[in-house]
A and B are shown apart, each in its own frame.
Chain A
Amino acid sequence: MMNDIPINFEREWIPSLEERLAQDGPWNKYEFFKLALEAAEATAVPDFDQLQCLHHLPELTPFEHQIETAKNVLFNMHGRAILADEVGLGKTIEAGLIMKEYMVRGLAKKVLILVPSSLVMQWTRELNQKFGIPATAQKKEYMWKQYDVLVASIDTAKREPHRKHVLEQEYDMLIIDEAHKLKNKKTKNYQFVKEIKKKYCLLLTATPIQNNLDELYNLITLLKPGHLGHAGEFQENYVDGKRQSKNPLQLRHRLKKVMVRNSRKDGGISFTHRHVHTVPLTLSDDERELYDGVTRFVKDEYARSGKRGQNAFALITLQREVCSSRDAAFFTLANMYNRARAESPVRRAIEDLLPLLKKIDTHSKADKTIELINQINDKVIIFTEYRATQEFLQNYLAQNGITSVLFRGGFKRGKKDWMIELFQNRAQVLIATEAGGEGINLQFCNRIINYDMPWNPMRVEQRIGRVHRLGQTRDVHIYNLSTQDTIEQHILKLLYEKIELFEMVIGELDTILERLNLSKTLEDNLVEILLESESEREMEIKMDNMGEVIRSMRQELRKEHSSVLDPDQSVSLQ
């Protein structure tokens, strides 16, 4: 039967040669004939199952688990797979390796990468810089047809007129990042991806199961319909209740053929330890007076404004700012003042606060920070939520002989890179207002000071993730400044002691929050608790409750995951 492998010979060249014979030329130089042959020899793929792409990527040193994953997907899964590594293990690198291999082998030319719009530039940059793949960010309608490797936002692609163009193409390879967004097969995204013509396909997600096993089934059906049987068979064979698997062993076995999941606990992937330090500090008398004054102002304003949401958020921000720095609070108060009508009670209340602001000549938090920096005697990143604090700190550090550079989300890419370079080579401290996005390489630093704490735990995680990641060679130290007897202390207690945020696996929190399905964000819930509580005691109880809910959800999640996704851990978890 094997003699019927079709063999196709290219023959377009024959007439050209005949013409040259007839017309006595033109002939190419002998040297070029040899060079052409040598080029063919150098680029020929010598075997089916050895990774070629690494020869083409002298700049890149992937981790062992990334190389193994690429091989597994290429040679065992045949190019259709779910890459489900835990966050931070480099799914992008794995996808890049696989893509590069197919391109080097001439098996993929037309490639589409669909990602959330916030990641389009980052993917484009990484493919170009790390993999030498000429990827372009999709911007114009004509590009779908004209460009071989396009990175596009899935939300753009699925809408007309783009949708029509995408569905007309035949993609050698389709890559979808954040693929857990495709878990529901009734959504437009899902239907759209299903209709795209594709040969190889990679789905990237750290959380292949968020709510129930059906989600996993849907993802796999996108890749290989029937791999887990038809819907009825799947229910019958594998599903026992919403989130329980009936035949976990068998299911795992089937999953292994379409999904790779590296976890941090696997051998060979070494993460350094993480040490969390709470650094308490006490306000001076003047600072305390201001804090109390602002607290009163916040409560009064909230009552006066009829407890409307918009205002509540601004007020709580003010209270948090006063824990961060006088400057930050002043900035917001000034804004409130300017926006209020003349003669309004707000203006009078703010005027009352002014003497308290003016009186302050100590900066207990900044002083504590300087003490800490001197004690650390190494590179440090300070995170703050507020620009006013950021600028104040830079001045204050300078006055104390500490060099620092600023980093903001709004900086252009070039400026960000430049600031990081300055930090690496010239300055001791980087003062940042945001985590800086992916691709920002800060592993040379292993100390973080949380000058004030975001209330969105995801942002705390992003901050830590900047330095505590693959490639970090030293233990990571996180210092949380905690101003005693303020909301800051309460929030820190909730995040740190109750939720145990700092001990979570990255990505875990995301899943927990999704599963909790809160009608409001965690942040909004916190705002509400703080403003609505009649007493300190009531607030503590409400926060405790919240922490408890998150804790138990986390336990439930870990149990499920170990049964389906992480077989090696089920034993140790008992």
Chain B
Amino acid sequence: MQTEKIRDYVERYLTAHDSHFIEKNPAYFTVTLPEQVDKDLENRPFYWSYIERCGIEPTSVTMTFVFDRKQVPDGIKGEWVGFGSRRLQQIFRSAETHGRFVRLYELTPNGKEIASPFSSLVPWLCVHYRAQCVCDQKKDILFSIGINLVTKEVHSSFFKRISHRLLTPKLPPYRFTMQPIFSLRSAVERAEQSVTEQLAKEDKTWAEKALRRLEEEKQLLQNYYLHQSDKDEGDSSSPDEYRRRLQELQWQYQPRIDVQFINAGLFYLSPAPALE
């Protein structure tokens, strides 16, 4: 992430929390942290439990975040926020916990109301996954899956296709929603199936190589422990040790894919034009 993008990201994060900005500058800004942000970023749970138990008005923290250290005017002291900084990691984590589940309705722009039955909004389940391909190495693949809850139609790269639409958390007036036919559970099943299919098309050399390494290492290990038992006086724990080393090898090399949930949403969208 570039400096500018990081600044933009943090500003959006703080704005979404209704933070009060005291000073804004391209290279830095000074901001008063609202309660929720303070709890997520300031790491002072004891303070907050004390405040809440005693019913005291909390003192809010004001922070200066610096993004471009070269452009910061003299006299401005603040905490650097950059890619890899602990602060940005915290902000990412905080954003993830506050952005897990949404329900949104499409708003037709410019008051163009379409007063026909076709204007009913169609429910879609959108799920974001992070597939972690893991052996002794690792790679992530992100998935954005959309499942039509009426037709069970599936779209990948779903969010990219719809993110330009105007969405609002409240059902706009004069709009109706179609009732979902499929349950959440069956939609999720379909989404998982789609991810599995896409993963099957991915290059699997990484896993093949890892399995080969695992085999080779197992051979070496076997050879070693087979001859070791009678030779080494001090080692009475050989069988245990052998088992432990085998487990470690498995742990290190065994290829597997862990699919993590990022977030999900229920999107009520206009049926037409179809998802291009």
Q: A6-B257, A30-B167, A58-B84 are in contact. Are A37 and B225 (CB under 8 A)?
A: no
1/0 contact string of A21-65 vs chain B (CB within 8 Å): 100010111111111111111111111110000011110000000
Q: Which of A230-248 contact B (CB under 8 A)?
A: 230-233
Q: Which of B78-109 contact A (CB under 8 A)?
A: 82-86, 91-93, 95-96, 98-104
Contact, CB under 8 Å: A16 / B84: no
A221-229, A279-287, A354-362, A535-543: which lies at the interface = A221-229
Provide the bound-state CA to CA distance between A37 and B157, in Å: 13
B8-16, B21-29, B268-276: which lies at the interface = B8-16
Contact, CB under 8 Å: B99 / A231: no
Contact, CB under 8 Å: A58 / B83: yes
Q: A10-B259, A13-B261, A13-B264 are in contact. Are A56 and B128 (CB under 8 A)?
A: no
Q: A32-B16, A41-B142, A42-B1 are in contact. Are A5 and B256 (CB under 8 A)?
A: yes
Provide the bound-state CA to CA distance between A218 and B265, in Å: 56
1/0 contact string of B236-276 vs chain A (CB within 8 Å): 00000100110110011101111111111110000000000
Contact, CB under 8 Å: B241 / A194: yes
Chain A positions within 8 Å of B129 at CB level: 9
Provide the bound-state CA to CA distance between A375 and B226, in Å: 70
Contact, CB under 8 Å: A9 / B259: yes
Chain A positions within 8 Å of B261 at CB level: 10-13
Contact, CB under 8 Å: A55 / B204: no
Provide the bound-state CA to CA distance between A35 and B13, in Å: 7
Q: Is B52 an interface residue (CB 8 A)?
A: no
Q: A28-B98, A132-B85 are in contact. Are A33 and B224 (CB under 8 A)?
A: no
Q: Is B44 an interface residue (CB 8 A)?
A: no
Q: Is B220 an interface residue (CB 8 A)?
A: yes
Instruction: Name the interface size band of chain A.
Output: 35 or more
Contact, CB under 8 Å: A55 / B140: no
Chain A positions within 8 Å of B247 at CB level: 197
Provide the bound-state CA to CA distance between A41 and B82, in Å: 16
Q: A17-B264, A78-B136, A105-B138 are in contact. Are A40 and B128 (CB under 8 A)?
A: yes
Q: How far is the CB of B150 from chain A (nearest CB, A)?
A: 16
Q: A10-B261, A78-B136, A199-B251 are in contact. Are A36 and B224 (CB under 8 A)?
A: no
Q: Residues of B at under 8 Å CB distance from A?
A: 1, 9, 12-13, 15-16, 82-86, 91-93, 95-96, 98-104, 128-134, 136-142, 144, 159, 163, 167, 169, 184-185, 188, 192, 195-196, 199-200, 204, 206-208, 211, 213, 217, 220-228, 231-232, 234, 241, 244-245, 247-248, 251-253, 255-266
User: What are the 3 tightest A-B residue pairs by CB atom distance, in nearest-first order?
Assistant: A56-B84, A36-B99, A226-B224
Given A7-B199, A43-B92, 19 further pairs, Cβ under 8 A:
A5-B257, A8-B257, A14-B185, A16-B101, A30-B102, A33-B263, A35-B13, A40-B262, A45-B139, A46-B139, A107-B136, A170-B251, A200-B136, A224-B217, A226-B221, A226-B224, A229-B223, A230-B223, A230-B224
Q: Residues of A at under 8 Å CB distance from B?
A: 1-3, 5-14, 16-18, 20-21, 25, 27-49, 55-58, 74-75, 78-80, 105-107, 132, 134, 170, 185-186, 194-195, 197-200, 221, 224-227, 229-233
28 pairs from A and B in contact (CB 8 Å cutoff): A1-B211, A5-B255, A7-B256, A9-B129, A9-B195, A10-B261, A13-B100, A14-B185, A16-B101, A30-B167, A30-B169, A31-B12, A31-B99, A35-B16, A37-B159, A39-B92, A39-B95, A42-B83, A45-B138, A57-B84, A58-B83, A78-B136, A79-B252, A107-B136, A226-B222, A230-B227, A231-B227, A232-B231
